[in-house]
Structure 1
Amino acid sequence: MRLENKVVIITGSCTGIGKAIAERCVDEGAKVLIHGLEHDQGVALAARLGEENAALHIEDITLPGAPERLVEKAKNTFGHLDAIVNNAAMVTSSNIHSTDLAFFRRILEVNTLAPFALIKAALPYLRERHGCVLNIGSVNAWSGEPNLFAYSVSKGALMTLTRNLGDTLHREDGVRVNQINPGWVLTEKEIDRKRAHGLADDWYKALPNVFAPAGRILWPAEIAAAAIYWLADESGPISGQVVDLEQHPFIGRNPPKDTSTIAQSGK
């Protein structure tokens, strides 16, 4: 039990990577606060994990007071708070031509400013427990695809936030802050996005080798397995680190030009 008696808030955990992290946390002995906008999926997940292990909070994380309400619910339900996982994100296609300021601000509010606000709200309690923060970024933080402009910028900003606070909070408050950058992951929302682009539901079964050397893309459970290390005490004093989780080198790679029209997507 690598997370025995730990209490973890996981934003965006009604589906996808967040759901997989919540499930794995409970398997490892933690209590979790599930959060998101998908009410029915959240209720089903909380019921499956059991009321002794999981509570549910449905709310837009960018609303005034939402981070504080998440923290208070975790503390009131389980008695303390050991960790937060900033997983909630908007993954929306855009380029410089389709991105206006209102859209850009919304992406930054969800993907960058909401994690900051939740860290700030949770800090007094994390300090008490010498807890930790795990931010879920994206390999697109390094530059991103042309059609993931605003999303990529928001994840780049999150990466800098992680490195900065991973130093500051560790020295001043004893709170570690780290980040994992998933590559292309087969989530429910990724299937929905590709369906909206007109692809068949089984598009992921025949991907070009340049995108999926392993013959498939990543599963949410594989990201969750990596997340446990950063939430557990076994990661020791490590802080301010960003780890890419992809099946090929992301920086410096020079893939062939005749690739498929199936574009990669972010976390």
Structure 2
Amino acid sequence: MRLQNKVIIVTGSCTGIGKAIAERCVAEGAQVVIHGLEPEWGEQVVAKLGTQNAVLHIEDLTLPEAPQRLVEIAIQTFGRLDALVNNAALVISSNIQTTDEAFLRKVLEVNTVAPLALIKAALPQLSQNRGSVLNIGSVNAWSGEPNLLAYSISKGALMTMTRNLGDTLHRENNVRVNQINPGWVLTENEAQRKHEQGLPEDWYKAIPNVFAPAGRILWPSEIAAAAIYWLADESGPISGQVVDLEQHPFLGRNPPKDASTLST
């Protein structure tokens, strides 16, 4: 039980990676605050985990007082707060033609500003309990796909924030801040997005080798397994680190000769 007696907020945990992280946290002995925008899905997660282990809060994180309310729910329900997982994100396609200033601000508000606001709101409790923050980024933070411009910008900013606060908050507040950058993960929303883009319902069963050497893309449970290390005391004093979780070397990769003939 690597997270015994810890209380953890996991944003965006009604589905996908966040849901998998919350489930794994409870399996490791933690109590969790489930958060998202989908009441029915969130209620299903809480029912599965048990009300003694989980509480649900539905709210848009970009609202001014939302971060503080989320922290207060953790304290009122479970008496403390030990860790924060900033997983909630707006995953949306855009390129240079479709990304105007208003669109970029909207994506940044959800993917970068809200995580910072949550860290600020949680900091007193996290500092008191020598807690930790785990930001869920994306391998797109390094440059991103052509049709993920605004999303990639926001995740690049999140990565810089992780390194900055991972140093500052560790020294000044006893709070560790780290980040994992998942690659291509088969979440419910990703499966639906690709289907809406014209791919068949079972598109994930035939991924070209250039994108998935293992023959499949990642599962949310595999990201959750990695998340536990950063939330547990066993990661010790490590802070300010960003780890890419993909099945091939994302930077400096030598693409196969036939890669140009393949499409996602």
Q: Which TM-score applies when normalising by structure 2?
A: 0.98
Q: In the alignment, is the contact (CA less than 8 A) between 1:6 and 1:81 conserved in 2? A: yes
1:28 pairs with 2:44:
no
1:230-241 to structure 2, matched below 5 A, reads: 230-241=230-241
Partner residue, 2:9: 9
- What is the rounded CA distance, in whole Å, between the counterparts of 1:144 and 1:79 in structure 2? 40
Answer yes or no: is the 8 Å Cα contact 1:185–1:219 preserved in 2.
Answer: yes
Residue 250 of structure 1 corresponds to 250
Q: Secondary structure at the match of 1:88?
A: coil
Q: Any idea what the Cα deviations from partners look like across 1:151-181, whole Å, max 9, x if unmatched? A: 0010000000000000000000000000000
Matches of 1:15 and 1:90, distance apart in 2: 13
1:88-145 Cα offsets, whole Å, 9 max, x none, are 0011000010001111000000000000000000000000100000000000000001
- Give the aligned partner of residue 144 of structure 2: 144
Residue 180 (str. 1) matches residue 180 (str. 2):
yes
Distance in 2 (alpha carbons) for counterparts of 1:198 and 1:39: 28
Q: Secondary structure at the match of 1:258?
A: helix
TM-align CA RMSD: 0.6
- The one-letter amino acid of 1:151's match is Y
SS at match of 2:33: strand
Assess if the C-alpha contact under 8 Å between 1:208 and 1:259 holds in 2. no
Ranges in structure 2 where 5+ consecutive residues have no aligned partner: none
DSSP 3-state at the match of 2:260: coil
Once residues 203 and 51 of structure 2 are traced to their aligned partners in structure 1, the CA distance between those partners, rounded to angstroms, is 37
Question: How far apart, CA to CA, are the structure 1 residues paired with 2:201 and 2:262?
Answer: 17
Tell me the SS of whatever aligns to 1:57.
Answer: strand
What is the match of residue 50 of structure 1?
A: 50
Q: How many residue pairs end up in the alignment? A: 262
Equivalent residue runs for 1:106-117 within 5 Å = 106-117=106-117
Deviation at 1:259, TM superposition (A): 4.0
Paired with 1:140 and 1:34, the residues of 2 have a C-alpha distance of 26
Q: Partners of 1:170 and 1:23 in 2: how far apart? A: 27
Matches within 5 A, 1:49-88: 49-88=49-88
- 1:34 positional shift: 0.2
Paired residue type of 1:189: N
Structure 1: give runs of 5+ residues left out of the alignment: 263-267
Alignment of 1:185-264 (within 5 A): 185-256=185-256, 257-262=259-264
In structure 2, what is the Cα distance between the partners aligned to 1:249 and 1:259? 20
* Structure 1 length-normalised TM: 0.97
Q: Report the counterpart of residue 166 of structure 2 in structure 1.
A: 166
Amino acid across the alignment from 1:240: G
Q: Which amino acid aligns with 2:254?
A: N
1-structure distance, mates of 2:130, 2:188: 34
Report the secondary structure of 2:104's partner residue. helix
